[in-house]
Amino acid sequence: MTDTTATTSAAPAQPTAEQIVERFRARRGEAVVTPKGFLALVNTQWVDSEQPIWGVPGIWAPLPEGQSGLQLTATASDGITVDGQLVDGSVIVHGRDAEKPSEVSFDDHTVGTVITGDDGNYGLRVWDSQSEAIQNFGGIDAFPFDESWIVTGRFTPNPEGTTLSFQHLQDEGKSRDKVIPGEITFEHDGTEYTIVAFQEGRALQLVFSDATSGDSTYSVGRFLFTVPNPDGTITLNFNTAVLPPCAFSYNFNCPMPPKQNRFPFKVEAGEKNVLAKDGSLLH
């Protein structure tokens, strides 16, 4: 009689917090060089009258109020396709707010996306998968993982509809109101801080600066995404703090940290700067 012994496979080891951050950073480095990654954006141009757009062919014009997108006028020799069809005349290019946004292609490495501004105007973003920034990209510099920068705070919901004005980098001092679902309170070196984050999809987006900003990290500030826990706590893992899109391309317009999110201390965790292949700052 053969003796058999039942065996069970050991459960795979759960990744450590440091391993999770390493994987997160690897994905970030891959994402920014994709055909519509941050480094591929070469132009954002708002269209308020009939006009050309820098770097691409065609004449672009706004549509009547209430319609989504822009009107494009081009000839077949321009080589522009919209939703797979070669443009020879005038067509509507639907914006991202439409049920079915249009796909615009200028050549085998340059595409366009029609976006909507907070004021209801439309513009064109141009993405080049062979952009100079992608060709010269060396990596995203970051602080070493530090478990002490995984901070537990408390989330206190705001009354529904609470907003706060955020300035944006290219808005010349103008502010935009964003919904603030609640306040976040946490402690650092014995001092309590109350900060704000706005809703971004299902997560909260914290826009902050600190004593490293403009020194060892990007001057405008950084982002941190998080979700409140069911018990009312909230985890701020500053190791996953990321550079804003405007750190990769001047063609993004990023929100700036409100005064309560400007920390007087150094947050030596998360991403620092975008580097060129020679180690210098790319942007």
Q: What is the pLDDT of residues 47-76, one digit of tens each?
A: 999 999 999 999 999 999 889 999 999 999
Q: Which residues make Cβ contacts (< 8 Å) with residue 66, sequence separation at least 6?
A: none
pTM, entire model:
0.91
User: Which residues are registered as beta bridge partners of 224?
Assistant: 206
Are 63 and 148 contacting, i.e. CB atoms less than 8 angstroms apart? Answer: no
Give how far Cα 138 sits from Cα of 134, 245, 283, Å: 9, 16, 12
SS3 265: coil
Are 101 and 113 contacting, i.e. CB atoms less than 8 angstroms apart? Answer: yes
Q: What is the pLDDT of residues 197-256, one digit of tens each?
A: 999 889 999 999 999 999 999 999 999 999 999 999 999 999 999 999 999 999 999 999
Q: What is the 3-state secondary structure (H, E, C) of 176-232?
A: EEEECCEEEEEEECCEEEEEECEEECCEEEEEEECCCECCCECCCCEEEEECECCCC
Q: Domain extents for the chain?
A: 38-130, 138-276
Q: What is the pLDDT of residues 72-128, one digit of tens each?
A: 999 999 999 999 999 999 999 999 999 999 999 999 999 999 999 878 899 999 999
Specify the pLDDT at position 10.
Answer: 65
What is d(CA 283, CA 272) in angstroms, rounded to the nearest whole number? 12
**E strands along 50-129, which residues?**
51-53, 56-62, 70-74, 81-82, 85-86, 89-93, 104-105, 110-116, 122-128
